[in-house]
Amino acid sequence: MSETDNPAVGAPAAGAPTAGALTVGGPTPGGSSAAALEENLWPATARLDRDGVLRVGGVRVDELAAEFGTPAFVLDEADFRARCAAWRRAFSDCDVYYAGKAFLCRAVARWVDEEGLNLDVCTGGELAVARSVGFPAGRLLFHGNNKSVAELRAAVAYGVGRIVVDSFAEIDRLAAVAAEAGVRQRVLVRVTPGVEAHTHSYVSTGQEDQKFGFSLAGGAAAEAVERVLAAGSLELVGLHAHIGSQIFDTAGFGLAAHRMVGLLARVRDTHDLELPELDLGGGLGIAYTSEDAPLEVADVAERLTAVVGKECAAAGLAVPRLGVEPGRAVVGPTTVTLYEVGTVKELPGLRTFVSVDGGMSDNIRTALYDARYTARLVSRAGSAAAHVVTLVGRHCESGDVVAHDVPLPDDVRPGDLVAVPASGAYHRSMASNYNHVTRPPVVAVRDGAARLIVRRETEEDLLRLDIDPADQAGAAVAP
């Protein structure tokens, strides 16, 4: 997403109050000591009021905290929709699948549909969300390296447009499921193109040594193509590759595209068949701190279409319809996590810990990937002097860090609200109940109004799954 693609950055948001509000990166009149919001890190409609309070979607976060409590995910709906539209524009003749694993709920599935994007689901659970809002089945794509027979049956029964097969066992299973349902299921074969993405090893999926897909170099991909073609109940429509996530350069995408076109040419040569589709997955990185410099979606689109076009021309192939599957780049920047500060603990000569009322149960990425985040005081301007603190959560775990080395005003105190930007992707979707902490709500804000799209979990929710000993009688397994 480029600055210019994003109409709300630096300009008043539609419906957002402007009197008394400061624009992103704008001046700070009125004597406020609040530093401007860093560009690219905050949702498009984020503004600072004169008193230093953050507004998103035209709503003050102190009011959000009063109404919905903390921690809470605050999602800028206009930004989400604008990002969907930017992807659709950039990849105009392609299929853009929003990767629901980044964050999915019914409202989001609706927005994705309304903005004309398709949807990538990777479990029966994500499929159930899509189904519950009647997401058009033909625009769904189903991923996963170990889909169960029940999930395959559910997908086929709903009429999911494409299923990406990931193992030989799954080809057999899906062929049987489709035959049993009396349909010919469209499939893509997931290929491991042997590309090392420059990202954290846990989110790198293009290299040979990993659990996803069929190896291109080792010949498994070619064999998978052959087996799908031999299954009467399956229709092979294309190939798929996804090299990893949080990627900042186009070289890996370009190399993967090059190799995948090579495989399309081999399929043509071997089977006299030109596959009509090539899906190059997701993975475009976003800024979590001002050190990160993400690629523009338009540049990625241009690069990928150019590489595929050139390679196809060289191989004498018709250009296939491209697919892409952005998750993080659509939802990541749209959301901030709002926390309340509970304690400030100074360890002289060591560090200052600022504890908030969430932590690794709503953001596991810091502990899991050593991810870097920033945060800011958002309920008042704070003192001009800043000190660098470690923002930690409330969990029974020393590694429960929300953000390392965050500069906060040195008068930060209990009761303050702090916000962590860029927390829309893989936060709520990876949230847990560790320590029996209830998962935060997601509040959508737009045009000065806020509404719950995922409510806060309650202790009652936790106990509902936990069977009362009084009801367990007779359920014991016989010795």
Ligand X SMILES: Cc1ncc(COP(=O)(O)O)c(C=O)c1O
Ligand Y SMILES: N[C@@H](CCCC[NH3+])C(=O)O
Do residues 64 and 74 make contact, with C-beta atoms less than 8 angstroms apart? Answer: yes
Strand 140-142 relative to strand 118-121, pairing: parallel
- Interface with ligand X: number of residues (CB under 6 A): 17
Minimal distance, residue 139 CB to ligand X, in Å: 15
Minimal distance, residue 400 CB to ligand Y, in Å: 17
Do residues 205 and 143 make contact, with C-beta atoms less than 8 angstroms apart? Answer: no
| H/E run at residue 181 | helix 168-181
- Separation between Cα atoms, residue 378 and residue 334, nearest integer Å: 17
Structure tokens given for 376: 């800011």
Was 397 annotated as part of a binding site?
yes
Of residues 239-278, which lie at the interface with ligand X (CB under 6 A)?
A: 242, 245
Q: Which is nearer to ligand X, 76 or 120 (CB)?
A: 120
Choosing from 47, 55, 101, 162, the residue that interacts with ligand Y (CB under 6 A) is 101
Was 369 annotated as part of a binding site?
yes
Q: Which is nearer to ligand Y, 203 or 220 (CB)?
A: 203
Q: Is 400 in the site for ligand X (CB under 6 A)?
A: no
Q: Is 193 in the site for ligand X (CB under 6 A)?
A: no
Instruction: Please report the DSSP string for 323-350 in residue order.
Output: EE--SHHHHGGGEEEEEEEEEEEEETTT
Q: Please classify residue 309 by burial: count the beta carbons closer than 10 Å to its beta carbon, then call 0-12 exposed, 13-18 middle and 19+ buried.
A: middle
Was 69 annotated as part of a binding site?
no
Was 196 annotated as part of a binding site?
no
Q: Is 246 in the site for ligand Y (CB under 6 A)?
A: yes
Of residues 302-361, which lie at the interface with ligand X (CB under 6 A)?
A: 325-329
Q: How many CB atoms lie within 10 A of CB 195?
A: 24
Buried b (16+ CB within 10 A) or exposed e, 164-186: bbbbeebbebbbebbbeeeeebb
User: Is residue 300 classed as helix, strand or coil in its secondary structure?
Assistant: helix
Q: Which does 365 bind (CB under 5 to 8 A by kind): ligand Y, ligand X, none?
A: ligand Y
Was 351 annotated as part of a binding site?
no
Helices (H), 182-278: 220-230, 251-271
Instruction: Please report the DSSP string for 367-423 in residue order.
Output: HHH------EE-BS---S-EEEEEEE-SSS-TT-EEEEEEEEETT--TT-EEEESS-
Structure tokens given for 280: 């190059």
Give me the catalytic one of 94, 122, 312, 396.
396
Choosing from 215, 245, 334, 361, the residue that interacts with ligand Y (CB under 6 A) is 245
312 is catalytic: no
Choosing from 137, 176, 203, 452, the residue that interacts with ligand Y (CB under 6 A) is 203
Minimal distance, residue 56 CB to ligand X, in Å: 22
- Separation between Cα atoms, residue 92 and residue 88, nearest integer Å: 5
Q: Is 365 in the site for ligand Y (CB under 6 A)?
A: yes
Q: Which is nearer to ligand Y, 60 or 365 (CB)?
A: 365
Q: Is 143 in the site for ligand X (CB under 6 A)?
A: yes
Of residues 162-181, which lie at the interface with ligand Y (CB under 6 A)?
A: none
Q: Is 283 in the site for ligand X (CB under 6 A)?
A: yes
Minimal distance, residue 187 CB to ligand X, in Å: 14
Binding site for ligand Y (CB under 6 A): 101, 203, 245-246, 365, 426
Active site residues: 396
* Bind-site residues for substrate: 328, 365, 369, 397, 426
